[in-house]
Copies of this chain bind each other. A is one copy, B any other.
């Protein structure tokens, strides 16, 4: 059970006294700081923090607490974000044919491992319809082949906007997102790439891995940017393979890496355990 809480994420230039100032603000209003993760990046000169604050004893209204933080935040020239818990993040899952990543998300969501509300499952193929329907989630088949591609992406963005979607998960969605889509949902799209990035960028990574004769394969969950497969990495998983594994064996073994890397990546994001810093993602794991 989650007590009424706030998550505060904060980024600013590194400077003495930040922890004291932030912790003071919390203590002054009788917030109970149950988790304080910070990272002083000496190389980049930045400070990153994630605070988990129970608000049951708060002496002021939670909204006032969040608003009141503004003057400290501004004085630190910080970027910050509050989230009130419990919270279910509105999430759309985009798929093509394969359903193992979708299944894993549905399954973990049902087990309360992922605090998300899946508003819709969107496919450029119809293959995942029955799984979506079995889970009681609306499925939208949006054809995107050839000339339909551009219109398809417009339809998807309309749908996301209508549903106030906050997180888009590309669960083995076999289409490259247009630049404006990436920009519109910057830091809100998570993809699973079926290789250990930056190895085997692009198509058919398992075939590439087979041909290169690697001894470990992997999967990478990352934020999507306009630069294909180059967005900030959230989580990576690997599994050992041998010479006798064919490309289709790699597909079989790799999908379990994909399931785990994607599920963990989503979990860290929806629990506000990630902060994007340029090409890299700060991740405070749980």
Q: Which residues from chain A sit less than 8 Å from chain B, CB to CB?
A: 16-21, 23-24, 26-28, 30-36, 38-43, 57, 100, 103, 107, 111, 113, 134, 196-200, 211-216, 218, 232-236, 238, 242-244, 246, 249, 252, 256, 260, 277, 279-283, 285-286
**What are 21 pairs between A and B in contact, CB < 8 Å?**
A16-B31, A18-B33, A19-B19, A20-B20, A20-B27, A21-B27, A24-B24, A34-B40, A36-B38, A42-B246, A111-B252, A211-B279, A211-B280, A212-B279, A212-B280, A213-B279, A213-B281, A215-B233, A216-B236, A238-B238, A243-B283
Known A20-B24, A198-B214, A215-B235; 13 more pairs at CB < 8 Å: A16-B27, A16-B57, A17-B27, A20-B23, A20-B26, A20-B27, A35-B40, A43-B246, A197-B212, A213-B232, A215-B233, A243-B282, A243-B283
Closest residue of B by beta carbon distance from A231: B213
Contact status of A214 and B243, CB under 8 A, knowing A19-B33, A27-B17, A40-B35: no
Contacts of A252 in B (CB 8 A): 111, 113
Between A41, A103, A216, the greatest number of chain B beta carbons within 10 A of the residue's beta carbon is seen for A216
Complex contact B236–A214 (CB within 8 A): yes
Contacts of A238 in B (CB 8 A): 216, 238
List the B residue with the shortest CB-CB distance to A283.
B243
Question: Is the Cβ of B43 less than 8 Å from the Cβ of A16?
Answer: no
Question: How many Å from the CB of A111 to the closest CB on chain B?
Answer: 7
Contact indicator A233/B256 (Cβ below 8 Å): no
- Cα–Cα, bound, A286→B240 (Å): 11
* CB neighbours of A285 from chain B (8 A): 242
Chain B residues near A57: list those with CB within 8 A: 16
| A34 touches which of B26, B42, B283 (Cβ 8 Å) | B42
Instruction: Report the separation of the CA atoms of residues A246 and B39 in the bound assembly, to the nearest whole angstrom.
Output: 12
Q: How far is the CA of A216 from the CA of B235 in the complex (A)?
A: 9
| CB of A268 to closest CB in B, whole Å | 11
Task: Using A238-B238, A242-B283 as known contacts, say yes or no to A107 and B111 having CB atoms under 8 A apart.
Answer: no
- Chain B residues in 8 Å Cβ range of A41: 243-244
Question: Could you tell me the distance between the alpha carbons of A113 and B40 in the complex, rounded to whole angstroms?
Answer: 21
- Asked, given contacts A16-B30, A19-B36, whether A216 binds B218 with beta carbons under 8 Å apart, the answer is yes
Alpha-carbon separation in the docked complex, A27 to B40 (Å): 15
A220 to chain B, nearest CB (A): 8
Contacts of A244 in B (CB 8 A): 39, 41, 286
> A16 and B32: CB pair below 8 A?
yes
* Contact status B283-A215, CB under 8 Å: yes
A233 CA / B211 CA spacing, docked (Å): 11
Give 7 nearest A-B pairs by CB, closest first. A213-B280, A20-B23, A20-B27, A17-B27, A199-B199, A19-B23, A243-B282
